[in-house]
Structure 1
Amino acid sequence: MSYQEAAVRLVGSEDQKMRPKRLQLQKSPAVAVILLLIIGQVGPSGFARAKNVDHYSPGSASGSPLFERNLVGDDLESFTDALIPQQLSDYQIAGAVVSIVKDGEIVLAKGYGFANVEDQVPASPHESLFRIGSTSKLFTWTAVMQLVEQGNIDLHADVNAYLPDFQIPATYPEPITMWHLLTHTAGFEERFNGMLVHSLEEMISLHDYVASYLPARVRPPGEVTAYSNYGAALAGYIVESTSGIPFEQYIETYLFEPLEMTHSTFRQPVPANLQPEQANAYTYADSFQPLPFEYIAAAPMGSMSTTAVDMVHFMQAHLQDGAFEGRRILTPEIARQMHTRQFANDQRLSGLTLGFFEGEQNGKRFIEHGGAFTGWYALLVLLPEQNLGIFVVYNASKGETPAREFFQSFMNLYFPENDLAALYTPANSTGRLEDLEGFYQCTRSVSRHLDRIAHFAGTAYLRVSIAEDGSLATEFSMGEQPIQENFLQTQDPLVFLSLDGDKTLIFHAGEDGRIDHLIIEDRPHYAFERVNWYETPIFASSVLAACLVILLTALLIELITAVAGIFRKKGPSVDATARAARVWIGCHSAAYLCLMGGILYYFQRDLLYLIPAYLRVVLGLILVVSILVIGPLIFTILAWTRRYWSLPGRVHFTLVTLALLGMVWSLSYFRLLGFE
């Protein structure tokens, strides 16, 4: 069997590809990015074990890892030559670069496709600068640990000690520490607004960003994970304030220079000497369409541009306990501490180190960080025990699936899974499944801020129910296409194993004994908290949609009635108050419909940016219009007490009034009333 055939078998045929199920994103770029943010692609995203994949190790017995032989030369290159070009074609991606380091040596560094389609510039592992999104955070966390090593930062001290002119509110008795930021357990809500700016002129300082866009603290620190971009920005600012030099300069001086990363930068736009090597991001619609360079408001969150070869140097340093070419970026003790588990939502599942996310593939522990950005997806994976590092990046937002697929295929080929006993043996249990049914919302969500409008895109949540066959059915909703999976109860009544044995789900009970959250094996960076059905985004969105439909019909009826009245012969006089009531609800309906048009325009175009002036006007008018709902309430009471119109007319008027009240509730849910 050729390597090409092996790679195709690893990936699968066109009809049976080994791909994680993908969500259908709406066409708006802003919506797509929001969905990426919520489900974790701007941070990490979990691995699902590869299923129904052939293991192929040419020239060796079945199950013998090829790394025990000699992984150099054509062996690995033939594999990637077969797989990655096929991915670029299948997923309509312009280009990719990949680099792999083993035992301190580069065993592969290669580019595929194009860095610039218009000029037909091929993707180069040495020269093409690809943006790597949240994979940049690994440099932020490494910088933090350098300062910890020097004694300038205490992992367990209140971060307010490093914030001279603004403070994190003491919402809970426990202070937030740098350890909490590194493990994404600070307890911040999510924030989207202000993450991007339209131009260099709109950029604000890192200090101003972390001081102005402080998210609410919604849970005590150290309780559960909730991936936080703001946490990384705050950590980066503390690096800046503690070291006394700008964050970008610190990274250049203390990481890029000792690691000889001469083609890497956090600066936006990239420096003039590197601009000719900057790759373009693309979307595909019949042909490749270049995307503009977007500015991240806070560089530590993910503004880095780099090459595949430069990333090899970073991986070498981490795999060699902080050493690179006779120089050190970390002491061995600090480097090992960064790679050691620090927190897990459940100790039986994967957890977090100081900046990395744990996982397991084919019995091998790895630590990783993914990064998505508009038009980019990067993945860095380290296997410390195997002294192996893998980096791959695609210039397309939909690069996550091929990136994860690449790693899984690589592991299945070179580290085939052994026949290990299952962690948990499914068995009939006396545990009551009914106690587990309900809705569970991702901890990485917006609770108290205008950004909750992002729930229009669909905050990630699980619906748990009992299937007809008695198994536990889960439906993961995020956007348009729910993902369904069934689990079997194990000897532990709160532990469940997927039917294919590849995923573990564990429920946790609160102090009152009631189930309050659940953990999924491949999502260490967040959990799912139990919520009531009426607290779910899908319910609030449904109420809002129903209310808008009713208001639209009310407006149309009033317009038709008004036009018909022009041509109708003059009839009996109508009570002036009744006439005013009809005019009022018509105008009220029109006002809400127009203002919601402004909200949807913002949601589609500007949600990730600074709040524009027009939105402040729209939100102010929404508040006024919502207060004036008291008018239809009074008219409804008068309509029934004075018997305006016919019975169907009064019922319709009441229904419209209820829709107006529903609008007030929905707008309050989405934090569009009295906005922050």
Structure 2
Amino acid sequence: MRFIRKAMIGLAALAALPLVAQGPAPQPKAEKLATAAVNADTGAASANPLNSADVEAWLDGFLPYALEKGKIPGAVVVVVNGDGVVLQKGYGYSDVAKRTPVSPETTLFRPGSVSKLFTWTAVMQQVEAGKLDLDKDVNSYIDFKIPPFEGKPITLRHIMTHTAGFEESVRHLISSDPKAAMTLKKQMPLALPERVFAPGTTPAYSNYATALAGYIVERVSGEPFDDYIDNHIFDPLGMAHSSFRQPLPAKLVPLMSKGYPDVTQKPEPFEIVIPAPAGSLSSSGEDMGKFMIAHLNQGGVLLKPETTRMMHDFRAPGIANLNTMALGFYEQWVNGQRAIAHGGDTVWFHSYLWLFPESDIGLYISMNSAGAEGAAGGVRSALFHKFADRYLPGDEPMTPIDAKTAREHAALVAGTYVSSRGSFTNFLSVLGLLGPTSIMPTENGSISLPGLDGLSAAARDWVEVEPFVWRDRNTGERLVAEVKDGKVVRVSMDAVSPFMMLTPVPAAVNTDWINPALIFALAIVVLTALAWPVRALVRRNFAAAMPFEGRARTAYRLSRLFAWLVIAAVVGWMALILTFSADIGAIGGPLDWLIHLLRILTPLASFGLLLTAGWYGWLVWTGKRRWTTKLGATLLVLAALPLVWVTVVFNLYGTNMVY
């Protein structure tokens, strides 16, 4: 599951898409094996043969150091070629305390959203069986109603390309409590998120939509989803060390790797991924190799060749020529080679699977910790790019455009952006205040995008090679800005473009002015609240009279009372966000009482402060008061305005518990 731990900013959407272009003519297996490590651009043989000895020597030089440096306890890596395994190897420990080494054959890891590939395979099996139509309204297959958006329904093609238009949903996402698991029949209508984009128009990653696809498979097949995967994917492939079931079957429990914050900390409980088809898989490296081999061999026993090509070769519309979605897989181009891939993150496990259909190569890694400062993201990015450089090299020259134009374009694209994957209509939209995504011009006339630097192992070095197309010197990945009428419309980069894009943040929620305004407002509110008891003590000490009487005294006291309520609300939201950041499962039930309380307290405090401060200010200005008193009253009214604004535009009120 593509879980972003600190915060989620933004979400995202052309209507029904045409059927897939057919892929290249299949090669005989012997020929594929002979040309597995061929340069895609020149046809020249790679300097490094793709065999077990070379791969193991290379991995042994790369991965142990990377894991140790990143404080990651253990990992499993699998490389396949054609219909055979080149190498499957465990590194480090599945249980640090017991010093249990990772076994590629039997140790289970949690691939997170790589699980989705099994769900998409199940969908395509049902398409092949004639029970599902990728371009039919999904309401035809479910027992509740998903309303149309702008008059358009969603289809399985939208779902498989993450363009159904749902906003992010985390309430029923992941938990350490086994009781949090629920049936798809119960969860799907209960957790239905708002749709914020027209179907087919905007890539916006959705765990809910994938779980919905799993529910559809369950309904049309007549089998519970877990049973379906067992019967139609695991059993045919001989995946004996794999399960979508939560908790795990008893026979697999001893084989499950522990999950860790990092190697220095204690292991965490087994995670319950509530939208199970989106990420609940537990699987060994060997079993994941079997799945990769099936897809590389035109579907193997799982799918017909034509169905597999339909799945692999589809290219959803996107920004310019950036990576886009196939059906369920997403593209990752490297060295002129097209990979189809999927990443996956639970809180504790971090994984990635890449297939190179043209070269008949598959690569998979899973790690049992994010490591220090999210090191797992850099490790898997480096693994992909360095593997491709070694076994699938290709020359992709970069010719910068002229410096003057580059500076002008960097200045134009600079600004604050919102991600299409995020919350827009519920209170979690407030997380956008914590981590705005900014593109900034650099001194050398290029750009930087710090918020997404963690997707790469090395620092980004963007070079503009075409108008509004930048390439990273270190990875070859592209960043593209779509410009219309002299304004940036949307931006994305290869690493995320299949399922997420950035759009200029609307002025109403732009942190460039909201955050400074909030800092000002909270400073005034805190000073006002603290001054209230301090002044009372000073008056008592000097036996001084209260300077206000009647309505002025009432307005003074009420405005100070609401200032304290604002502080209480802010502290409550900070506590909720800190708890959510540490344990996303805590927000899905245990803290419902706090969420309800805050969504009552926040509008009460902010609007109450505005009204009482306004009343107090009017009485001060119409009375014979000192200029300092008038200034203080005015500042308090001005402080209340951004607090009310944030309450309204970030949806910090209401009773809806779908978020």
TM superposition score category, shorter chain reference: 0.7 to 0.9
Find out whether 1:404 has 2:371 as its counterpart: no
Shift of 1:196: 2.2
- Give the equivalent residue in structure 2 for 1:575: 549
Find out whether 1:659 has 2:619 as its counterpart: no
Gaps of 5+ in 2: 13-37, 39-43
> Contact conserved, 2:334 with 2:476, CA < 8 A, in 1?
no
Partner deviation per Cα, 1:110-157 (whole Å, 9 max, x = no partner): 111110112221111011111111111111111111111111110001
TM-aligned CA distance change 1:486 to 1:667, over 3 Å: farther
Find out whether 1:117 has 2:89 as its counterpart: no
Query: 1:142 pairs with 114, 121, 125, which one?
Result: 121
Query: 2:534 pairs with 555, 560, 570, which one?
Result: 560
Partner deviation per Cα, 1:497-535 (whole Å, 9 max, x = no partner): 55779343333245x774321232332221111224552
Q: SS state of the match for residue 355, structure 2?
A: strand
- Give the equivalent residue in structure 2 for 1:330: 303
- Give the equivalent residue in structure 2 for 1:98: 77
**CA–CA distance in structure 1, aligned partners of residues 191 and 79 of structure 2:** 38
- Give the equivalent residue in structure 2 for 1:523: 496
Shift of 1:643: 3.3
**CA–CA distance in structure 2, aligned partners of residues 532 and 663 of structure 1:** 18
Partner deviation per Cα, 1:229-277 (whole Å, 9 max, x = no partner): 1211111111112212221111111111111111111111111110011
TM-score, with structure 2 as normaliser: 0.86
Q: SS state of the match for residue 93, structure 1?
A: coil
> Contact conserved, 1:439 with 1:532, CA < 8 A, in 2?
no
Query: 2:290 pairs with 300, 313, 321, which one?
Result: 313
More divergent stretch after superposition (601-610 vs 292-301): 601-610
Amino acid aligned to 2:237: L
Aligned residue runs from structure 1 range 105-504, under 5 A: 105-164=84-143, 166-284=144-262, 287-323=264-300, 328-397=301-370, 398=374, 399-418=376-395, 420-422=396-398, 433=409, 436-459=413-436, 461-463=437-439, 465=441, 471-477=445-451, 493-497=467-471, 502-504=476-478
> Contact conserved, 1:473 with 1:484, CA < 8 A, in 2?
no
TM-score, with structure 1 as normaliser: 0.84
Find out whether 1:621 has 2:601 as its counterpart: yes
> Contact conserved, 2:108 with 2:257, CA < 8 A, in 1?
yes
Amino acid aligned to 2:634: T
Q: SS state of the match for residue 417, structure 1?
A: coil
More divergent stretch after superposition (621-630 vs 235-244): 621-630
Amino acid aligned to 1:284: D
Find out whether 1:639 has 2:620 as its counterpart: yes
> Contact conserved, 1:190 with 1:215, CA < 8 A, in 2?
yes
Give identity over the alignment, percent: 30
> Contact conserved, 2:478 with 2:493, CA < 8 A, in 1?
yes
TM-aligned CA distance change 1:358 to 1:424, over 3 Å: farther
Partner deviation per Cα, 1:361-414 (whole Å, 9 max, x = no partner): 222221111111111101111011111111111101232211221222222222
- Give the equivalent residue in structure 2 for 1:4: none
Q: SS state of the match for residue 291, structure 1?
A: coil
**CA–CA distance in structure 1, aligned partners of residues 157 and 265 of structure 2:** 42
Amino acid aligned to 2:618: I
TM-aligned CA distance change 1:118 to 1:32, over 3 Å: farther
Partner deviation per Cα, 1:251-308 (whole Å, 9 max, x = no partner): 11111111111111111111111001111011237x2321122211110111111000
**CA–CA distance in structure 2, aligned partners of residues 452 and 366 of structure 1:** 34
Amino acid aligned to 1:652: G
**Aligned length in residues:** 612
- Give the equivalent residue in structure 1 for 2:55: 76
**CA–CA distance in structure 1, aligned partners of residues 479 and 198 of structure 2:** 24
TM-aligned CA distance change 1:360 to 1:479, over 3 Å: closer
> Contact conserved, 2:555 with 2:615, CA < 8 A, in 1?
no
**CA–CA distance in structure 1, aligned partners of residues 92 and 474 of structure 2:** 36
- Give the equivalent residue in structure 2 for 1:21: none
TM-aligned CA distance change 1:373 to 1:169, over 3 Å: same
Shift of 1:540: 3.5
**CA–CA distance in structure 1, aligned partners of residues 114 and 293 of structure 2:** 16
Q: SS state of the match for residue 552, structure 2?
A: helix
Shift of 1:570: 3.4
TM-aligned CA distance change 1:39 to 1:430, over 3 Å: closer
Q: SS state of the match for residue 101, structure 1?
A: strand
**CA–CA distance in structure 2, aligned partners of residues 375 and 151 of structure 1:** 39
Partner deviation per Cα, 1:561-600 (whole Å, 9 max, x = no partner): 1121221123476323333233222211111111222222
TM-aligned CA distance change 1:530 to 1:38, over 3 Å: closer
Gaps of 5+ in 1: 1-29, 41-56, 58-62
Shift of 1:667: 2.1
Amino acid aligned to 1:114: Y
Shift of 1:184: 0.8
- Give the equivalent residue in structure 1 for 2:479: 505
Aligned residue runs from structure 1 range 527-606, under 5 A: 527-537=501-511, 539-571=513-545, 574-606=548-580
TM-aligned CA distance change 1:383 to 1:334, over 3 Å: same
Amino acid aligned to 2:340: I
Amino acid aligned to 1:634: W
**CA–CA distance in structure 2, aligned partners of residues 240 and 426 of structure 1:** 56
Find out whether 1:65 has 2:46 as its counterpart: yes
**CA–CA distance in structure 1, aligned partners of residues 477 and 109 of structure 2:** 33
Shift of 1:633: 1.4
Shift of 1:556: 1.1
> Contact conserved, 2:80 with 2:293, CA < 8 A, in 1?
yes
**CA–CA distance in structure 1, aligned partners of residues 9 and 619 of structure 2:** 49
